[in-house]
Amino acid sequence: MASMKAIGIRNGKGPAEAMFMDTISRPVPTGNQALVKIKAFGLNRMDLLQREGIYPVPPQAPSTMGVEFSGVIEELADSQSDFKVGDEVFGLAYGGKTASTWITATQALNLIGEFKSGQSVLWHAGASSVSISGIQLSKALGATKIFVTAGSQEKIDFCVNELGATAGFNYNTQDWANGVLEATDGKGVDLIVDFIGANYFASNLTAAARDGRIVELGFMSGGELPAGVNIGPILYKRLRIEGSTLRSRDEGYQERLRNLLVENVLPKFEDGTFKVFITKVLPFDQIVEAHKLLESNQTKGKIICTVS
């Protein structure tokens, strides 16, 4: 049986050093699937969590990590497909490709957050890849104000000066929730996209405007709320809080997102409106270094691994 290289994890989970170059069976596409020869892949926070054994992998996903890929189609199961062998493609897979950030940002902004022109938005982890995409999308869709949180002035300056955010708040030195209220004359923001979870929950309620929406995409600070959190604002502000995943969504939902991306995002890549920011490109066999760099929280954009 044909084989291929993949990243394995000794004992199934562990630190970055537990990863190694493995050899596994080459998959055979079935149904409407395509087999893609990977040229490059991007790292995501979910990769770190899956490596540590604390990410709920969907049942249809293989045990190998990774979801964000680009490459060339080598084989098609369906000869009537709109694609053909040799096509250059990029996108999101259930696993084994180590969520495109633009797809995730589009989902949070349009499908879950129901963002509309003239509204304001707050992107947490402003220099993360998803928020970098989201800031640009928000601006293109007519956001009145775009706020970010980040852990350094350098990252805030990047979000404001390079991406066009209105203002940023350093979560290490500032009360960002009250900062948002001051910057909006006490109104708060219409939409908050959060990856942090427990530690930001109460402050999100403070920073949200009446009839605001809070989209939860991750729990980097954990999922258990600290004692004493006042959930009253959910009621009197009429807030809607919705959690969402992308990787476990069915193919129909992901197709809908892909079509939104093709319609609203790809043209802006072509004309230069949207930019992809890359922190570092590393070869496939330096996956340990790539994971450590992502864990350092020093990045401003994607970490890419290339496959020769």
**CATH number of the domain that residue 144 is part of:** 3.40.50.720
Residue 190 included in any domain: yes
Q: What's the confidence (pLDDT) of residue 97?
A: 41
The verdict on 46 and 120 lying in the same domain is no
Q: What's the confidence (pLDDT) of residue 5?
A: 87
Residue 271 included in any domain: no
The verdict on 136 and 218 lying in the same domain is yes
The verdict on 135 and 208 lying in the same domain is yes
| Per-residue pLDDT tens digits for 15-73 | 999 999 888 888 888 888 889 999 999 988 888 888 988 877 777 767 677 778 899 99
Q: What's the confidence (pLDDT) of residue 95?
A: 54
Query: Is the model's pTM score more than 0.95?
Result: no
**DSSP one-letter code for 121:** E
CATH of the domain at 31: 3.90.180.10
The verdict on 238 and 226 lying in the same domain is yes
Closest CA to 154 of 195, 126, 118: 126
Overall domain count for the chain: 2
Rounded Cα distance between 65 and 61, Å, is 9
C-beta of residue 99 within 8 angstroms of C-beta of residue 68: yes
Q: What's the confidence (pLDDT) of residue 245?
A: 81
3-state helix, strand, coil in the chain (%, to 5): 35, 25, 40
Comparison of pLDDT for 283 and 45, the residue scoring more: 283
The verdict on 132 and 158 lying in the same domain is yes
Residue 44 included in any domain: yes
The model's confidence at residue 134, banded by pLDDT at 50, 70 and 90, is very high
| Whether residue 154 has pLDDT greater than 90 | yes
Residue 266 included in any domain: no
The verdict on 302 and 218 lying in the same domain is no
Residue 77 included in any domain: yes
Helix (H) or strand (E) holding 178: helix 176-183
The verdict on 238 and 112 lying in the same domain is yes
Residue 258 included in any domain: no
Q: What's the confidence (pLDDT) of residue 94?
A: 61
| Per-residue pLDDT tens digits for 89-133 | 887 776 544 447 888 899 999 999 999 999 999 999 999 999 999
Average pLDDT of span 220-226? 89
Residue 41 included in any domain: yes
Q: What's the confidence (pLDDT) of residue 98?
A: 41
Closest CA to 163 of 210, 127, 199: 127
Q: Encoding tokens for residue 101?
A: 């950030």
The verdict on 188 and 56 lying in the same domain is no
The verdict on 130 and 220 lying in the same domain is yes
Domain enclosing residue 120, as ranges: 102-243
> 92-96, 142-146, 168-172, 293-297 — which is least confidently predicted?
92-96
The verdict on 72 and 120 lying in the same domain is no
C-beta of residue 18 within 8 angstroms of C-beta of residue 51: yes
The verdict on 189 and 286 lying in the same domain is no
| Per-residue pLDDT tens digits for 231-281 | 999 999 999 999 988 777 877 888 888 888 888 888 998 999 999 899 999
3-state SS, residue 251? helix
Residue 12 included in any domain: yes
The verdict on 229 and 171 lying in the same domain is yes
